[in-house]
A and B are shown apart, each in its own frame.
Chain A
Amino acid sequence: MRKLFISFLFLSTILCSSIIAGEPTKDEKFQPGDMIMHHILDAHEWHILDWKGKSVSIPLPIILFHEGKGGSVFFSSKFNHGHSNYKGYKMDHGHIVAVNADGTKNKIETEKIWDLSITKNVFSLLLSIIILLSVFITISNRYKRNKNIAPKGVQSLLEPIIIFVRDDIAKSAIGEKDYKKYLPFLLTVFFFIFLNNLLGLVPFFPGGANLTGNIAVPMVMAAMVFIITTLSGKKYYWKHIFAMPGVPKPVLLILTPIEIFGVFLKPLVLMIRLFANITAGHIIILSFFSMIFIFGEMSPLAGYGVSIFSGLFVLFMMTLELLVAFLQAYVFTLLAAMYFGMAVEEH
């Protein structure tokens, strides 16, 4: 536990120093809102830094499916950071749009584009999946090899977390009888969120994508929770939604719509909670950095002065975010488990 804490502190220090190094330095007036949104939103290229007015970034593959025209795959470097057109497509504020011959946006054709590009977030998603699979399959091989030997290395770090998810989330929320069925999903969700929250805090290349803070990711997971809950709902669960026992008929007229609404509201809240927490954390940290440049534009001295204060605050926020990374993974998994528990409850 102490080792873990020290490595957390160490990690957070690195994170802070690296973000300072990676700030864009543009000639025009600094726009904190734009900078923050740029960091939080998805992108078709992995922007690393601006160097002498030129942006240095890693190009990512663009995969487009155009209705009636077929698919096309190319690197995002072809767009030249949004300055050039390629194959009749153009990058417009982070979105790929179809263009006419004269270079203007073609709205009708743009509607037909399905953008399945490996964006920054998709790249991060794939990376996290590779990390998860390699780590857990390695561990699982060790478990398979020697069943009765004390855990070692990463195994001993992750084993308590696995047991925590099993005993304190799944078993306590779902119950002894049914928890085994949902455990693989809960464990996967937990470690996926936890890892991606942590990766999101790493400011340089393989990390820094705001994956769990992108609404699409919690949306998919919340949708899965909704589907699983609905499919495993037993008589008791549905009875409590459509005809709450012990409630007079007139009250049911009001209660039943609320309950039905609640069925959809629960996963929705699950989605918004994760998305908002992670995004907010990123926004706060970036805002503190923005202050350095806002003051720096007034006078360099003020910038330096504020940077100490900002740095300290970001260090604090980063440490807090490490806690939030775990907490949000825990909350999401726990609530999912509770919804499953409600669905399978029997009397």
Chain B
Amino acid sequence: MELVKPDIGLLFWMTTCFIILLFLMKKYAWGPILAALHERERGIQEALDGAEGAKKEIAEAASKVEQMLSEGKAEKEALMKLAKEELMEYKNGEQQKINTQIALQMQTVKEEIEQQKRAAVSELKNKVAELSIEIAEKIIKKELRDQSAHNELIKNNVEDLELN
């Protein structure tokens, strides 16, 4: 029975001391400790969040770089294509120009040849006429008897020459 009978002395001391302990612990121990723990946990959480954010940013930057690279690549390809096309066009144009020029020159040359040919022919004709006249002269000089028969002959000869 002694065991379950509380002592007034111990009850008194326990109540007093425990209340004092509670007060002192609350003020000097638990307050700062819990505040510091909370502060630290908050710090850790912030650091974690920060790290997460940084990771996201890095990923974003990487994807941006990737995008820029691919864009650059596409641009380069487009440029190359354009350049090729332009080159082709230029080449074609140049070729055409050359061709026209050649054709033009050929034309000129042909015309010149034609002209020369005509000139030569006319000269030849003149020469032939001269020659014919000379021949006729000679013939006339030599044989002035049968003049009409000879004229006929000359005429035929000249015509033959003209056909050439």
Chain A residues with CB under 8 Å of chain B are 37, 40-42, 63, 114-119, 121-122, 125-126, 129, 132-133, 136-137, 139-141, 143-144, 147-148, 159, 162-163, 166, 183-185, 187-188, 192, 214-217, 219-221, 224, 275, 279
CB of A125 within 8 A of CB of B17, answer yes
Q: Which of A122, A137, A144, A166 contacts B13 (CB 8 A)?
A: A122
For residues 2 through 26 of chain B, which have their beta carbon under 8 Å from a beta carbon of chain A?
2-15, 17-18, 20-22, 24-26
CB of A122 within 8 A of CB of B24, answer no
CB of A137 within 8 A of CB of B3, answer no
Distance of B21 from chain A, by nearest CB (Å): 5
Q: 6 additional contacts, CB 8 Å, given A42-B7, A144-B36, A188-B21?
A: A42-B10, A115-B8, A116-B13, A136-B33, A140-B31, A219-B6
CB of A133 within 8 A of CB of B24, answer yes
* Given A116-B12, A192-B21, A217-B14, A183:B36 Cβ within 8 A: no
CB of A159 within 8 A of CB of B9, answer no
Chain B residues with CB under 8 Å of chain A are 2-15, 17-18, 20-22, 24-26, 28-37, 39-40, 43
CB of A41 within 8 A of CB of B2, answer yes
* Given A140-B29, A187-B30, A125:B37 Cβ within 8 A: no
Q: Which of B11, B25, B31, B43 contacts A216 (CB 8 A)?
A: B11
Contacts of B21 in A (CB 8 A): 129, 132-133, 188, 192
Q: Which of A119, A129, A141, A215 contacts B9 (CB 8 A)?
A: A119
The residue among B11, B15, B22, B30 with the most chain A CB atoms within 10 A of its own CB is B30
Which residue of chain B has the shortest Cβ distance to A149 in the bound complex? B40
CB of B29 within 8 A of CB of A136, answer yes
CB of B32 within 8 A of CB of A144, answer yes
Contacts of A140 in B (CB 8 A): 28-33, 36
Contacts of A143 in B (CB 8 A): 32-33, 35-37
CB of B2 within 8 A of CB of A187, answer no
Cα-based distance from A215 to B13 in the complex (angstroms): 13
CB of B10 within 8 A of CB of A148, answer no
CB of A125 within 8 A of CB of B13, answer yes
27 A-B residue pairs with Cβ-Cβ distance under 8 Å, sorted by A, are A37-B2, A37-B3, A114-B9, A116-B8, A119-B9, A122-B13, A125-B10, A125-B14, A129-B17, A133-B25, A140-B32, A143-B32, A144-B32, A148-B40, A159-B37, A162-B33, A162-B34, A184-B22, A187-B25, A188-B18, A188-B21, A188-B26, A216-B6, A216-B7, A217-B10, A219-B11, A220-B11
Distance of A119 from chain B, by nearest CB (Å): 6
Cα-based distance from A126 to B12 in the complex (angstroms): 13
